Amino acid sequence: GAGVSQSPSNKVTEKGKDVELRCDPISGHTALYWYRQSLGQGLEFLIYFQGNSAPDKSGLPSDRFSAERTGGSVSTLTIQRTQQEDSAVYLCASSLAQGAGEQYFGPGTRLTVT
Amino acid sequence: GNSVTQMEGPVTLSEEAFLTINCTYTATGYPSLFWYVQYPGEGLQLLLKATKADDKGSNKGFEATYRKETTSFHLEKGSVQVSDSAVYFCALSDNPGRRALTFGSGTRLQVQP
């Protein structure tokens, strides 16, 4: 079946602009995660959704970052007033609610803030 | 807090050599342990997992054994191929309610023909 998809695959934006990143999880996966992969910080957890609620937002680096999930499926990560340090690859993953926690990752969105 | 420590890379091996990538962890409770692989230009893929002490995860000739006494989950392969060249990430998930993965810094493997 289809895997996790993300769009856009690449995004270049000017400092100060807002961006939206989209994630379509695997059908039937109720858990959804956002991570960030950058050279200096490695792979960092951002936020976790179970259904449409986000019980864990502890990884969001600032209040410029927000995310929502609707219909228990698609999720959008929004970064307001982007800064150069936001440049990274943003990864989305999904998993079944039960089980050992194995997560299936999308190809990522490469964000470059100029 | 949770943490995962991997051996520094890059690791460069000749084809058919034996591979070990060390991984140790710190966690509360009883974590599940994972190895993910990222091939050039591709996304993260789950390679193998182990959910309790002494479990051995295996896939594509790779193996790792969950060692609670040494808090380790070292990745091994008896004979590497050029196609194994990739970045390997060790990770843990220790809270069923939270389930977010904590990753190591990754180890780049380069296999030469």
Look up residue B60 and give its amino acid.
K
- For residue range B52-97, what is the model confidence (pLDDT) as tens digits? 899 999 999 999 999 999 999 999 999 999 999 999 999 998 766 5
CA distance A19 to chain B (A): 21
CB contact under 8 Å between B99 and A59, yes or no, is no
**CA separation for the pair B65, B23 (Å, rounded):** 11
- What value does the mean pLDDT take over residues A12-28? 96
CB contact under 8 Å between A101 and B32, yes or no, is yes
Helix, strand, coil abundance in chain A, percent, nearest 5: 5, 50, 45
Phi, psi of A84 (to 5 degrees): -60, -30
List the structure tokens of B68.
């609670």
Look up residue A62 and give its amino acid.
S
- For residue range A42-95, what is the model confidence (pLDDT) as tens digits? 899 999 998 898 888 889 999 999 999 998 899 999 999 999 999 999 999 999
CB contact under 8 Å between B93 and A100, yes or no, is yes
Identify the pLDDT of residue B8: 84
Q: What is the DSSP letter of A25?
A: P
Pick from A97-101, B5-9, B18-22, B37-41: least confident: A97-101
Q: Is A42 on the interface with B (CB under 8 A)?
A: yes
